[in-house]
Structure formats: C-alpha cells, structure tokens
C-alpha cells in the first residue's frame, strides 16, 4: 500500500528535474551574449531576448528560421546605432510572430525593415535620423505597428505591396518628405496617429485601398492627406489642421473615396478633388481654410450634411468638369465668397441652408447648364440669394430671403423658375436679364417680370 505515494512522489520529482533541464529562461544581452545578433542566432521559437541598457553598434538580421521570438529593450536607453554601418537596425525576412519593442534606433538607412512577414509586432520604438525610412514593410501581411516615434528621416514609414496591416498610435514628425507612404497596398488601417511637421504630406497613399481614421494631421508642409490612383479609400474622423497645402487632396484617377466625419481647418482648400470620380463627402466640418472649403474638378460626387463655414474662398466650388454631382443638406455659412459656385452641368443642389456668405448664396456660372436647384434656403447673403448665368437650369421651391441684392437673379436663357419664395431682399426679389426664361407660381413682391 506504501508504493502508491512513492510512485506519485517520483513522478513529481522527475517533472521538476525535467523542467529545470529543458527550461532555460529568457536570453539576456549582454549577460548571455555580447550582441543582439548573437542572441538572435541562438534563440529558439518561443524565446524572449531582453536587451539591457547600452549602445549597440550593429544591424540585426532575423531570418526565416527565427519565428515566434520577442526582442525587448529593458529600460529607456537601449540604443541601436548604425554609425559606420548604414544598413538597417532590424531586418525581418520571411518571419511570423516576431516582436520588437522599446528600442532607440538611429543612424541607419532603414530603422526596421519587414520583408514578407506575417503577424509581427513593432511597438514602442523611437526611430530617428534614418537616411531612408524609419520603418519599411514590403510584401507583408497582418503586422501591427503601434506606439512608435518616427522622426527626422527621409520618410517616417512606408507600406509597399502589403495587406491588412495595422498602423496606429504612432507619432511621425520632422521627416524630410512624408510622414506615412502607402504604395500598392490594400486594407491597411492607419488609425490614431499623430502626424505633424513633415516636409511633404502627412499621409500619401498611391495605388492603394486604405482606411485612414482618427488621425491628428497638422502643420505638414504640403497636404494633410494626398491620394493618387487610390480605389475605395475611407477617410474617417480625422482632425486635419493647418497644413500648408490642402487638408485632403484626391487626384490621378482615384475613385470611390469616402470622407466622413472629419474636422478640416486652416489648410489651403479643405478638400480638393482633382481628376477623380465617385467621391463621397459627408458629415464633415470644414472651416477657416484659406481658399475654398470644398473644390471639385471631377464628375459624380455626393456632398451631403457637411458644415462648411468661414472659409476664405467659396464654401463649395465646382469647376466645369464637376458634373452629375449632388449637393444635399449642407449648412454653408459665413464664407468670404459664394456659398456654392458651380460651373459644371447636370448637378443637383437641394435642401441646403446657405446663410450670410459675403457674395452670392448660389452662383451658377455662364457655361453651366441643366442643373436642378431645389428646396434650398438662402438667407442674408451679401449679394444675390441665387444668381444663374447659365442656360436651361431649373429652380424650384427655393426660399430666398433677406439677401442684400436680388433674391433670384437670372442672366442666362431658357431657365425654368417655379414655386419659389423670394421676399424681403435688398434690391429686387426676382430679376430676369436673360431670354426665354419661364417664371411660374413664384411668390415675390418686387421684380422686373412682365
């Protein structure tokens, strides 16, 4: 009967012995190995490498055999200095689930390079003074880049030919070109970053599909966000302020861009859409920009539910190529030029509140035809409520009240003006200076109609 407790005790002792034989604990640099590279070379999957305070003049290669390892700086002063080496701080090639955390990396060409990696995490590093990029991801999937500081390099971070990576809560500043560049990558999530004082754009995305949300993008030398040839980008809940170029600029045949719930202040144009199609601009606050709130030079846009105010140009400006665009339910007020100035054809402008702009509430240019202007409220604008210089436009059920000059002024030909209310305007309620225009069932008191 006494043999059973003895067997159990033997099993426990054997397990303890085997644990201490096979468990070696974390690797510590320089205690166990003098360099980080030697520690990496000795590591097995699942190992942790702790690196103590010091300056390490090396480039660390983590090859495809080194998966599922963690390399962690212990303390704030663990520096990887590339002086005299000039290649990379860390190079990850064909890795899965590698973590690099807490390092100061300086004086290399690239701080951290991820080549064909999956599921790696780069966090809490301070990377500066790179001759090329702070972080470069190439052909990599589902990596996380979080809480890094990337500064004083050519470009803060580049994602090229990548998929489903998360770039969030990083700080990117004082770089010679852009803060973040995304090229030929898809479904990259760029979120909650602080991007400022870069010498080109805060974020530049090209030939990509990105989700750009909740970033603070300020004081960059060119644009806050620049998209070129992007397809289906989503720009959501960003604060984009005081960039020397445009807050958001979309160009080079981009399509399907959505801009929703952004605060865009103090840039040149708030939003500039150039050579792009099918753009959604909704629920944004666009104000105090030095030119137009929104400038569109492309077809098929939907502009709705925005607050556009105190811009130094027009609230919304549409060039001759701005056709088939819907401008719906916006609040447009106190802009230095016109509330809405449209030069394109076949646009729909309806249910907007357009108040106290320093020129016209709505201006339809002389080459702008076949637009539908319906159910807008135009109140206390300093020139006309609505001025139409083009032909074959339709004005229906608008309220134009208390504007300083003319409530509804028609200078073009063959327009249809029906069921509008135009009252208490400073000069005339309705004026016809064109030919072949049709006026029917309008409510007004002063005008030059027969």
Summarize pLDDT for 15-54 with one digit per residue, the tens. 443 344 344 689 999 999 999 999 999 999 999 999 999 9
The answer to whether the CB of 98 falls within 8 A of the CB of 79 is no
pTM (2 decimals)? 0.94
Instruction: Inform me whether the pLDDT recorded for 98 exceeds 90.
Output: yes
Over residues 323-376, the pLDDT tens digits come to: 999 999 999 999 999 999 999 999 999 999 999 999 999 999 999 999 999 999
Specify the pLDDT at position 25: 86
CA 390, 395, 398, 399 torsion: positive or negative? Answer: positive
Q: Which residues pair with 173 in a beta bridge?
A: 151, 196
Would you call 44 helix, strand, or coil by DSSP? coil
Specify the pLDDT at position 19: 40
Specify the pLDDT at position 5: 56
Gyration radius from the chain CA atoms = 31
The answer to whether the CB of 419 falls within 8 A of the CB of 395 is no
Q: Which one has a higher pLDDT value, 232 or 85?
A: 232
**Spatial separation of the C-alpha atoms in residues 405 and 429, rounded to whole Å:** 8
Average pLDDT, rounded, for the chain: 95
**Spatial separation of the C-alpha atoms in residues 89 and 130, rounded to whole Å:** 10
Q: Which residues pair with 235 in a beta bridge?
A: 212, 259
> To 10 degrees, the CA torsion angle through 374, 316, 178, 240?
-80
The answer to whether the CB of 292 falls within 8 A of the CB of 269 is yes
- Vertex 77: Cα angle to 72 and 82 (nearest 5): 85
Specify the pLDDT at position 11: 54
30 preceded by a cis bond (ω within 30 of 0)? yes
The answer to whether the CB of 160 falls within 8 A of the CB of 184 is yes
**Spatial separation of the C-alpha atoms in residues 290 and 188, rounded to whole Å:** 31
**Spatial separation of the C-alpha atoms in residues 147 and 173, rounded to whole Å:** 13
Over residues 205-241, the pLDDT tens digits come to: 999 999 999 999 999 999 999 999 999 999 999 999 9
CA-closest candidate to residue 221, choices 275, 176, 261, 279: 176
Over residues 105-131, the pLDDT tens digits come to: 999 999 999 999 999 999 999 999 999
Q: Would you give the DSSP letter of residue 178?
A: -
Burial class (CB in 10 A: 0-12, 13-18, 19+), 371: buried
**86: confidence class by pLDDT, cuts 50, 70, 90:** confident
Over residues 374-432, the pLDDT tens digits come to: 999 999 999 999 999 999 999 999 999 999 999 999 999 999 999 999 999 999 999 99
CA-closest candidate to residue 91, choices 37, 165, 147, 168: 37
Q: Would you give the DSSP letter of residue 147?
A: S
Over residues 254-308, the pLDDT tens digits come to: 999 999 999 999 999 999 999 899 999 999 999 999 999 999 999 999 999 999 9
Specify the pLDDT at position 17: 38
Q: In the chain, pLDDT over 90 holds for what percent of residues?
A: 93
């Amino acid at each position: 009967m006494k043999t059973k407790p003895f067997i159990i005790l033997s099993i426990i002792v054997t397990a303890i012995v085997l644990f201490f034989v096979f468990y070696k604990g974390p690797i510590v640099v320089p205690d166990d190995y003098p360099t980080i590279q030697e520690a990496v070379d000795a590591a097995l999957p699942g190992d942790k490498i702790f690196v103590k305070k010091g300056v390490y003049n090396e480039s660390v290669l983590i090859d495809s055999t080194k998966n599922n390892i963690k390399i962690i700086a212990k303390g704030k002063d663990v520096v990887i200095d590339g002086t005299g080496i000039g290649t990379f701080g860390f190079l990850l090639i064909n890795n899965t689930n590698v973590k690099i955390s807490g390092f100061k990396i300086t004086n290399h060409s690239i701080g951290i390079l991820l080549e064909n990696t999956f599921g790696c995490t780069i966090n809490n590093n301070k990377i500066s003074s790179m001759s090329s990029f702070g972080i470069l991801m190439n052909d990599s999937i589902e990596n996380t880049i979080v809480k890094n500081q990337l500064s004083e390099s050519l470009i803060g971070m580049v994602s090229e030919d990548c998929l489903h990576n998360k770039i969030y809560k990083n700080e990117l500043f004082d770089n010679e070109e852009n803060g973040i560049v995304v090229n030929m990558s898809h479904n990259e999530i760029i979120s909650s970053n602080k991007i400022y004082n870069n010498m080109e754009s805060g974020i530049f995305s090209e030939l990509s599909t990105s989700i750009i949300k909740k970033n603070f993008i300020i004081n960059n030398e060119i644009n806050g966000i620049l998209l070129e040839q992007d397809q289906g980008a989503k720009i959501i809940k960003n604060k984009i302020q005081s960039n020397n170029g445009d807050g958001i600029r979309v160009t080079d045949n981009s399509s399907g861009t959505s801009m929703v719930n952004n605060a865009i202040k103090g840039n040149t144009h708030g939003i500039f859409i150039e050579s792009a199609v099918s753009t959604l601009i909704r629920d944004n606050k666009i104000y105090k920009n030095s030119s137009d709130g929104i400038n569109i030079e492309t077809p098929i846009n939907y502009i709705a539910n925005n607050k556009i105010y105190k811009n130094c140009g027009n609230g919304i400006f549409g060039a001759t190529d701005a056709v088939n665009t819907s401008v719906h339910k916006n609040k447009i007020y106190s802009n230095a030029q016109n509330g809405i100035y449209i030069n394109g054809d076949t646009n729909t402008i309806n249910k907007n509140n357009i108040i106290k702009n320093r020129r016209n509430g709505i201006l339809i240019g002389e080459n702008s035809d076949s637009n539908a202007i319906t159910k807008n409220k135009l109140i206390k604008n300093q020139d006309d409520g609505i001025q139409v210089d083009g032909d074959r436009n339709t004005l229906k059920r608008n309220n134009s009240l208390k504007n300083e000059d003319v409530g509804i002024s028609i200078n073009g030909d063959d327009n249809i003006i029906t069921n509008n209310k135009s009252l208490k305007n400073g000069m005339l309620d309705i004026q016809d200076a064109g030919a072949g225009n049709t006026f029917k069932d309008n409510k007004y008191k002063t005008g030059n109609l027969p």
